[in-house]
Structure 1
Amino acid sequence: MRRLLALVVIFVAVLGLTALGVWQVQRLMWKTALIETVNARINAAPQPLRAGPGGWPAFTAERDEYRRVTLRGHFRHDKETQVYALTDLGAGYWVMTPLETPDGTVMINRGYVPTDKRDPATRAAGQVSGEVQVTGLIRMSQNKGWLFSQPNDPTKDQWFLRDVAQIAKVRQVALPGWFIDAEAMPVPGGLPQGGLTVVRFTNNHLVYAITWFTLAGGLAGVSLWLSRRGGREGGN
């Protein structure tokens, strides 16, 4: 009876582990397709970004994030917001500046400045006036950070998330619910420094799938050994 119960438990466990392996294979296929899609988007020629009759498009992460676009306008430096950032260049801030275009205003992440250059007065040369052309990647508004990140505190002008809606409310400017990560471009004084978008996806699903299938196979082997052992003992 105990052996039968053990075989039933092992059988259920094998089914569960196999299901986990199949799920990881499905995740692998999804992640592989996602990586291919994003790589195609970031390497494509930039497309002009224009508003339609109903205003700016309602972009979605699945359909539009990391699409490469270009647009022209004038920066509203008086509405600039600095968002704390940890980058490959070290700690600093993303310079988020609205860009006024003939179709409306869009938030641009102009790029990175180190902590001692947060104040625009310390990088006045980079506060360009006149019409500029911006090329960059569409990004979704960030209203959630990593596990231990801090929430924005607009009352102290401390920003940790690129939450476009919240910034727009505080700066009193109408913006769509997405922003553009600007590519590197010549800037007087060299700051802000664009082109630092990190496009990196972890893809360990194959390892996980192999692990689950290996465990399922091992338990199936134990089940087969118990069955044969029980048959031999019963024959005696």
Structure 2
Amino acid sequence: MRGDGPPAFCLLKRGVMRRILVPLLIGVVGAGILIGLGVWQVQRLAWKENILATIDARLSAAPVDLPETLDPEDDKYLPVRVSGTLEPDALHVLVGAKDLGAGYRLIQPLVLDGGRRIMVDRGLIPLDAKAAVRETGEVGLVGNLHWPDEIDGYTPEPDIARGIWFARDVPAMANALGTEPVLVVVRRQEAGPQSDEITALPVDTAAISNNHLQYAITWFSLAAIWLTMTGYLIWRVTRRQETEG
């Protein structure tokens, strides 16, 4: 003879469903958001790798003569060959280089054979070489045009009196040296006076951050942890309901 009410296991099942509904929804929605962020980072990784490959191809191209007109966007990383006269004025950008330690990027004016005045980033010098007399005279250089984006809200103002800078601000440095806002980062020197104290620091894509893979792994890992914790919570709720039932 059947009772008037629903079977006990049906009541138990309904109670379990009511208690796990909210954790289940939170778990699914949260995991979906985290997985979506991981997928977005994978897409960003492909985008960044394509950009780096394009930059690498441009960096390794044959150098050309310095164009008469330049655009900081279109001509960034363009390989160029320049020749002219180094002037003794110099700016020093405080940096730290991997395997080399702290030092200064040496920025000097170069008067081109045609009369134009530009800047050249000759490379890294030791901290104690800042006061040394800089090489001057005719030089031949190969490098890449660059307009670095190194300034943020935490970058100190340059110490103009001592010629110490904390980022390569091309327009401001050009104003200080009286040159065009054009910077050639030297890759190699083909002629003229050289110094053993200068280590070339050419433009390199290794210096461009590409952390999207790590970010993707982090988001996917968080999604896995979120789902695991959700599953554990649901299991606890189910076990408790069975015990109480």
TM over 0.5: yes
Q: How well do the aligned residues superpose, as a CA RMSD in angstroms?
A: 3.1
Q: Does 1:163 find its partner at 2:163? A: no
Distance (Å, rounded) in 1 between the aligned partners of 2:197 and 2:209? 30
Match of 2:179 in 1: 174
Match of 2:93 in 1: 83
Q: Does 1:129 find its partner at 2:129? A: no
Distance (Å, rounded) in 1 between the aligned partners of 2:125 and 2:41? 40
Query: Is the deviation greater in 195-204 or in 87-96?
Result: 195-204
Letter in 2 for 1:193: T
* % same residue: 29
Q: TM-score, normalised by structure 1?
A: 0.75
Distance (Å, rounded) in 2 between the aligned partners of 1:71 and 1:215? 52
Match of 2:14 in 1: none
1:82-107: CA deviations, max 9, x gaps?
A: 22232233322221111122262211
Match of 2:8 in 1: none
Q: How far 1:224 sits from its partner (Å)? A: 7.0
Find the residue that maps to 2:199 and give its secondary structure.
coil
Find the residue that maps to 2:161 and give its secondary structure.
helix
Letter in 2 for 1:192: I
Q: How far 1:108 sits from its partner (Å)? A: 0.5
Find the residue that maps to 2:125 and give its secondary structure.
strand
Match of 1:206 in 2: 213
Q: Tell me, which stretches of 5 or more residues in structure 1 are unaligned?
A: none
Q: TM-score, normalised by structure 2?
A: 0.73
Letter in 2 for 1:17: L
Distance (Å, rounded) in 2 between the aligned partners of 1:188 and 1:219? 59
Q: Tell me, which stretches of 5 or more residues in structure 2 are unaligned?
A: 1-17
Q: Answer whether contact 2:93 2:168 (CA < 8 A) is retained.
A: yes
Q: How far 1:207 sits from its partner (Å)? A: 3.8
Find the structure with the greater CA-based Rg: 2
1:175-207: CA deviations, max 9, x gaps?
A: 22x411112326444243324545314444234
Q: Answer whether contact 1:28 1:206 (CA < 8 A) is retained.
A: yes
